[in-house]
Structure 1
Amino acid sequence: MSWLKKLVIITLSCFIAGLTVIFGSYLYLKDDLPSVETLKDVRLQTPMRVFSQDGELISQFGEKRRIPLKINEIPPLLIQAVLATEDARFYEHPGIDVIGVFRAATVVATTGDYSQGASTITQQLARLFFLSREKKIIRKIKEAFLAFHIEELLTKDEILELYLNRIELGQRAFGVGAAAQVYFGKNIQDLTLSEMAIIAGLPQAPSVLNPVRSPSRARARRNIVLGRMLTVGYITQQQYDEAIQAPIVSKLHGAQITASAPYLAEMVRKEIVDTYGEDEAYSKGFQVFTTVHSAQQTTAVQALQQNLHNYDERHGFRGPVAMVWPATRQENADGSVSFVEDKRFSDEAILAYLDQQDAIEKLTPAVVTLVENRSAEVMIAGGRKVQLGWDGLKWARTFISHERQANPPKSATQILAPGMHIYVREQQGEWRLSQLPQASSALVALDPTDGAVRALVGGYSFGLTQFNRVTQANRQVGSNIKPFIYSAALEHGYTLASVLNDAPIHEWDAGSGTAWRPKNSPDVYDGPIRLREALAKSKNVVSVRLISGVGIDHTINHLAKFGFHKNDLPRNQTLALGSASLTPLELATGYAVFANGGYLVKPYVITKILDDQNNVIFEHQPIKVCQDCQPTLAPTDVVAAEQPAAVADADSTQVSEAEPAAIETTPAETFAPRVISPQNAFLIAEAMKSAVWGGDGWDGTAKNLKALKRRDLSGKTGTTNDVKDTWFSGFTPDLVITSWVGFDDAESVLGKTAWNNNLGVEQVSGGESGARTALPPWQIYAAAALADLPEKFPPAPVGIVSVRIDNKTGLLTQATDNSSSFEFFQQGTEPTQYASPNNPDLPEHQQKQEEIDIFR
């Protein structure tokens, strides 16, 4: 009994001493323990996500990839896999697993092995949020105290949910949702049992056990997890057997992008970082919604890329990317062609080579394995072999220069040889030879009523270059400048019926001792021509004569009203030929003034920003066009409208003097300022319709747009000297679009192409131009973007009249045949003289005057 009493006393003493040590440790450490109250309102660091107008994901920015999930959104099998591996008694212990601690201590005492872990999920959560990973006893004591406190504060499901969203799982993936996306490119609900086991095994050592870095280690760890799940009864033997045999197939995946707008996403990223700073921008879980619609944006990307491929192919094939092995071409006695391949690669070696090559947009790396007379076989990544038929090869005459191509090929052996590393792409279900385009392009579309960007494509591939040509490329605009010059002319006494001489100009420059001889393109002159027809045909010399008539200073001041910077506008007559350098976005903004009736809108791309709790923290208030609000006019010397001399009274045919411009009827920040008169905007928009529809016996430069069968289209082509830049800008009252094609190297010319006998009548040949080169992607995008929008014809503004004129002289006429047409005028500027009477034998007072219709 004496021995037993001593044992009891010793045991009680040890227990009391232990409690004393624990209580004393708590008193010693309590002031250093962080408050776990913050876990009730924890905000996980989540990346910024950028969405389209209709909710499709455009991009994601942030160092830590995280997809926060509720506990009921995580598959039960994945939860069980984690519990089986990390903390089998999670729902039983109070934060510290005494059995696990005893087991780990026993292992240390008997073997000296410290690898046996004893930390519960709650302890790991405490360490993740509040402690470091230092291996010190004091940290373990703090961890235990915090674990008890966390268990008092949160439910088991809340603890598990935080852990599964917070745990680091390698490759910058935090949480199981992000790991599913990063390693397998899947939503978490779509994971297989094998994939769940791989993710559940990662917390032990995510940097070395992940399936991308080490598939063999990932497999071994997966098998341990599956074994634990089988042991505790979470899965059946059949499930275990199937999962254990599953191959490890994994590669790094980005966010699940469902809308392609990388250039716009970068604009958003920069704006958010500038506003909130990098730390908040990349970690607060901002959800940024933009103005683009995913379907229209996709069409814009596809249209631009396809157009660049079309341009590139008609200029010829530049040869393979590389030769994987040499192949010598030899002609046989029967006239056939064969290849000598002494160092041909095996299929396994070809596949290994292709694994090192990157796809670029729709271009797939391939190695030629067989070439026959009119076809070729190539291997692409994954070991798949595809056929290139003659339809996918016959375009590939040899590129000599942008101005010249070799003769069209007659067989595939003239184009390809085994061992060539090439690019192929799939088009309409067929594979074709392709190549990375050298030319560049940009396309931007705006809503003219408020400046919302509806589509934006800054180049062929954001992955190749992040240079955004929509906002950063200042390129010579060519004839795209002419509508603004004609607008200035209308403010200085000209009308759409004014006749100027379309004839060569020889202007002596005493300073340089040379003559300036601006030319039309093509070099054709029509003599006396009305302004409407001159604009539609893009007559260069007429634009020069207009600037001479208006004056360069007046012209530049007028162009500044459209938002163009005066410093970007050359102060000489070359401005008439488009020597100014502007960005596509600046041009589209300027054209929006004609589309909306004379107002200058501000382009924008962000509509609203939500935080990680879906609270709206920012909502854009666009500066809209309001036809009935009479918005504040901007200062006269910058963007003021020049009011018409007179306007028609709405209730009578009497003409009254124009009222002074409104000064302060509506706040300038609420509505867009009027910068040109509604009459001026209407007349230029009407004149640009002739570029599409032409006139009696003549076509405008944008005649191909007749295929859209829309009478509300207005547009203007643009081609610079030596064809270094090509443009098309056009609009309806609902949408403004600008398209540009050129080389990033501003010295390279787009050139011309000869007829290819292998191709059909639909091919493009001859010199590149705005109509041939920049208009096609505009047309493809417009066809889709305007498909659900009916034609719209806003009423002519007050003060616009229509009279029948003689097409040659621009004077009034009584003729009703194709020698005449109706023309619009600002009231008071219409002609008063007749070109010729219908019947010269009648006295003048008996000749019937054509009625003048006054539009209100």
Structure 2
Amino acid sequence: MLMVLVGLGLAGALLVGTALALVYPKLPDLASLTDYRPKVPLRVLTSDGELIAEFGEERRRPVDISQVPLVMQHAILAAEDDRFYEHGGIDYLGVVRAALSNLIHGGKGQGASTITMQVARNFFLSREKTWTRKFYEVLLSYKIEADLSKDKILELYINQIYLGQRAYGFSAASQIYFGKRLQDIDPAEAAMLAGLPKAPSAYNPIVNPKRAKLRQEYVLNRMHELKYITDDQYKQALTEKLVYRGKRSASLYPVDADYAAEMARQAAVEMYGDEAYTAGITVITTLKAKEQNAAQTALRDGLEEYETRQYYRGPEGFIELPDDAAKAEEVIADSIGDYPDYDELQSAVVLSATPQEVDVSRGAGDVIKLTGKNIKPAESWLNPRAPSNKRLKRGAVVRILVKDGQDPILTQIPEVQGALVSLDSHNGAIRALAGGFEYSLNKFNHVTQSTRQPGSSFKPFVYSASLEKGVTPTTIINDEPISFPANTPGGKDWNPKNYDNKYDGPMLMRDGLAHSKNMVSIRILQYITPAYAQQWATRFGFDPADVPPYLTMALGAITTNPLQMASAYSVFSNGGYRIKPYLIEKIKDGQGRIVAQARPAVSGDEANRVIDARNAFMMQRLLRGVVEHGTGVRAKALGRDDIMGKTGTTNDSHDAWFAGFNPDLVAIAWVGYDQPKNLGNRETGGGLALPIWLDYMKVALKDAPVKPQVVPPGVTFVNDEYYYSEFTPGNGGIEKLGVKNDGGDIPSLFNFLKGLGNAITGGDGAKTSPPAPHSDNNTPSKFDKQGPDQIEKLFGR
């Protein structure tokens, strides 16, 4: 009998040996491991190296083993293969342990795959459960162990393994789940990540928080048993409340620039096709990380503040809550992830509601009490007789605005939209671009795709043209009503008005711009002719078709978008040169080689000059007056002498603008509804758009020195004012427009003082009778389609 068993053993060994001799040489070449090139997604960065976005089916961030913290390595070993550095690819003790466990528990709940075996399977084999596949897996594991170091095998595993949420590898997963670099995670977070490979969908903390917590506790226990963490670290990790980036925030990246990222993605795909998503392409934009975050925050804050003054539309949804308080908190914690936060605008669920107090929870066990003015927007929905689908009651999902040092306010996601874009006025590099309140809610990029009327923010281009026709800062222009009879049978007379329906009589041209007087602008345009103003506007980049040659042009009845306005205002900022906005500084391939580089037009190159330096100088002074004592006086809060700008509010308050700059930086802010409607009779560019612009500029100009104006040749200083040398008072300059010559309408000291007083109470000066039709915001503009020609625009060529 013994001889029979020995014989069978020898036969089995001979059979295995023969199989090894035949199969082993035919195993796959390990070149794909030694020269590992994973599918690396398209990455978009700021100019200072911060990540904006990744695009591709597989989110990866390959790292060297030296970049993986020990706590992460230990968590992986504890969860998957604690004898990894001791066995030769197959852990026989682990096989015996798993077999005994499965025998005792009557199932196949515990496997014995080592990290090496998982690398073999992930790179070369399918996941089918057959003896043939398992045999190849064992042989490949031996081959991998023979050819590669243990550290290299662990590095391959760390970079290749799938961890849910389209994340491949622990570095990508750390960013996706926690918004952190892998180097910055703690033991509790490392254990949660290390628990994912066993079943990424089952243990995904975003989808299954309870099961994920149980798996994390198992990994932490193994880490503690193996002496990878101390008693104190173990206890702290067990009680630590993890905050998941994907659950509580709409953004997964340190820089909030989704609209710009989409522009960069389109450009990369135009160049590389679908390969852009897998070849490790890196797009480096011109954005500045701090400025970009400041722009998006400023825009959100401005729109949220506006929304607190609007009609409350009711809850976003309802969640069925059990009566038991503890169970209700669990339901809220599991459900509220469907309503992501948008920075300080956070989701919450109503626990109880009366006209005097609303109690809400965010699923963390804390009750937030809202009372008084903080629930006033929703007071009509606290009435028991309010419609059931709108009433604030237990289980209603609402929004609270949570700002540091302030009590939370009951509010809602804004319906109003906005945009903010800033440029380096010397080369057109886009430093910040916020295309709307939140990309995940509205992907329409209002910086580049909108088609809106700029209102009074267009007036400076009319004033700039008038300087060439002899109008001066001290030309006296009549601010009195003017009427234009219909020029076609059955047409209507045009009777434009000032915003506030107030008229100050004859006044200086510079004060007309500072206080945005419509009558002054119209009389200037009458004098220089709309055709001349249209031609002049093309110097700043406006298409003649978008600037029809009618008197309504004086009030901004043209079509444009924030990016085009930024480009146009940069001509005033940089001394008269036209530059082209561009977003992409360079593109690198998967090996880090630069394959595309921006070549922008720059100021100082006389080939790019479109207006004389003295015209830009004079306009800077005039637009400084808007800030000093006009409709843009709020901009004085920056405490700088080099800030200039212009407010804008369109007909019926459909659009609110502020266009402002210093000699190096231009920024444009816009607010309006996608389907144009009245923002409110008291809402203006100075009240809505300027505060957004101001919050951004506080960050952008924080460390920038103040730049004084330099007087260019051809300008003469007379009686405390600058003039073109050939257009000084009494020597070629226009003295009056629309003023009687009997001397009775010369502005008095009273009118001068009254004009200065309007700096506080004066309106935007853009309320008019309907001029040209207002364009629908969703009408595609010339910036809408970003095909091959758009790449040229993005690169500034």
> What's the TM-score bracket when you normalise by the shorter of the two chains?
0.7 to 0.9
Q: Describe the SS at the equivalent of 1:727.
A: strand
Distance 1:558 1:24, change over 3 A: same
CA contact (8 A) 1:66 1:175 kept: yes
Measured against aligned partners, the alpha-carbon deviations of 1:158-214 in whole angstroms (never above 9, x if no partner) come to 111111211122332322333444455555456565654554443333332444444
Is 1:131–2:125 an aligned residue pair? yes
Aligned to 2:540: 562
Query: For residues 426 and 788 of structure 1, what CA distance do their matches in structure 2 show?
Result: 29
Q: State the one-letter code of the partner of 2:29.
A: S
Alignment of structure 1 residues 103-502 onto 2, 5 Å? 117=111, 119-183=113-177, 187-188=181-182, 193=187, 196-214=190-208, 217-218=211-212, 233-234=226-227, 242=235, 253=246, 257-280=253-276, 282-315=277-310, 348-349=327-328, 352-353=331-332, 356-357=335-336, 358-361=339-342, 362-366=344-348, 377-388=359-370, 390=372, 392=374, 419=394, 422-436=398-412, 437-502=414-479
Moved more, 682-691 or 826-835: 826-835
Moved more, 512-521 or 681-690: 512-521
Aligned to 2:30: 36
- How far apart are 1:466 and its partner, in Å? 1.9
Aligned to 1:823: 722
Alignment of structure 1 residues 532-681 onto 2, 5 Å? 532-610=510-588, 616-626=594-604, 629-630=605-606, 632=607, 673-681=608-616
Query: For residues 320 and 202 of structure 2, what CA distance do their matches in structure 1 show?
Result: 36
Q: State the one-letter code of the partner of 1:584.
A: P
CA contact (8 A) 1:389 1:431 kept: no
Q: State the one-letter code of the partner of 2:345.
A: L
Q: Describe the SS at the equivalent of 2:407.
A: strand
Query: For residues 495 and 784 of structure 1, what CA distance do their matches in structure 2 show?
Result: 35
CA contact (8 A) 1:477 1:720 kept: yes
Q: State the one-letter code of the partner of 1:601.
A: I
- How far apart are 1:566 and its partner, in Å? 1.9
Query: For residues 197 and 324 of structure 1, what CA distance do their matches in structure 2 show?
Result: 31
Q: Describe the SS at the equivalent of 2:657.
A: strand
Is 1:731–2:708 an aligned residue pair? no
- With normalisation by structure 1, the TM-score equals 0.73
Aligned to 1:683: 618
Query: For residues 301 and 570 of structure 1, what CA distance do their matches in structure 2 show?
Result: 33
Distance 1:107 1:616, change over 3 A: same
Q: State the one-letter code of the partner of 1:559.
A: A
Query: For residues 155 and 164 of structure 2, what CA distance do their matches in structure 1 show?
Result: 19
Measured against aligned partners, the alpha-carbon deviations of 1:313-337 in whole angstroms (never above 9, x if no partner) come to 34565666678899xxxxxxxxxxx
Query: For residues 510 and 486 of structure 1, what CA distance do their matches in structure 2 show?
Result: 26
Q: State the one-letter code of the partner of 2:367.
A: K
Query: For residues 410 and 10 of structure 2, what CA distance do their matches in structure 1 show?
Result: 84
Q: State the one-letter code of the partner of 2:289.
A: S
- How far apart are 1:797 and its partner, in Å? 1.8
Q: State the one-letter code of the partner of 1:738.
A: I
CA contact (8 A) 1:167 1:174 kept: yes
Query: For residues 704 and 113 of structure 1, what CA distance do their matches in structure 2 show?
Result: 73
C-alpha RMSD of the superposition: 4.2
Distance 1:460 1:191, change over 3 A: closer
Is 1:751–2:680 an aligned residue pair? yes
CA contact (8 A) 1:693 1:703 kept: yes
CA contact (8 A) 1:801 1:825 kept: yes
Q: Describe the SS at the equivalent of 2:335.
A: coil
Q: 2:631 aligns with which of 693, 696, 701?
A: 701
Is 1:521–2:499 an aligned residue pair? yes
Query: For residues 61 and 204 of structure 1, what CA distance do their matches in structure 2 show?
Result: 26
CA contact (8 A) 1:215 1:248 kept: no
CA contact (8 A) 1:363 1:425 kept: yes
- How far apart are 1:800 and its partner, in Å? 1.5
Q: State the one-letter code of the partner of 1:46.
A: V
Unaligned runs of 5+ in 2: 382-390, 736-797
Q: Describe the SS at the equivalent of 1:474.
A: coil
CA contact (8 A) 1:488 1:555 kept: yes
Distance 1:826 1:588, change over 3 A: farther
Query: For residues 101 and 345 of structure 1, what CA distance do their matches in structure 2 show?
Result: 46
- With normalisation by structure 2, the TM-score equals 0.78
CA contact (8 A) 1:393 1:432 kept: no
Q: Describe the SS at the equivalent of 1:716.
A: strand
CA contact (8 A) 2:399 2:410 kept: yes
Aligned to 1:58: 52
- How far apart are 1:477 and its partner, in Å? 0.9
CA contact (8 A) 1:600 1:674 kept: yes
Identity %: 40
- How far apart are 1:449 and its partner, in Å? 0.8
Q: Describe the SS at the equivalent of 1:206.
A: coil
Q: State the one-letter code of the partner of 1:458.
A: G
Measured against aligned partners, the alpha-carbon deviations of 1:645-703 in whole angstroms (never above 9, x if no partner) come to xxxxxxxxxxxxxxxxxxxxxxxxxxxx1112222222222222222224xxxxx2223
Alignment of structure 1 residues 59-78 onto 2, 5 Å? 59-76=53-70, 78=72
CA contact (8 A) 1:723 1:750 kept: yes
Count of aligned pairs: 717
Q: State the one-letter code of the partner of 1:423.
A: R
- How far apart are 1:828 and its partner, in Å? 5.7
Unaligned runs of 5+ in 1: 327-342, 400-415, 633-672, 695-699, 753-766, 805-820, 836-856
Q: State the one-letter code of the partner of 1:794.
A: Q
Distance 1:356 1:101, change over 3 A: closer
Q: State the one-letter code of the partner of 1:259.
A: V
CA contact (8 A) 2:174 2:180 kept: yes
Distance 1:372 1:206, change over 3 A: closer
Q: State the one-letter code of the partner of 1:751.
A: G
Q: State the one-letter code of the partner of 1:577.
A: L
Higher normalized helix content (fraction of residues): 2
Query: For residues 334 and 96 of structure 2, what CA distance do their matches in structure 1 show?
Result: 50
**Which structure has the higher relative contact order (CA within 8 Å, separation 6+)?**
2
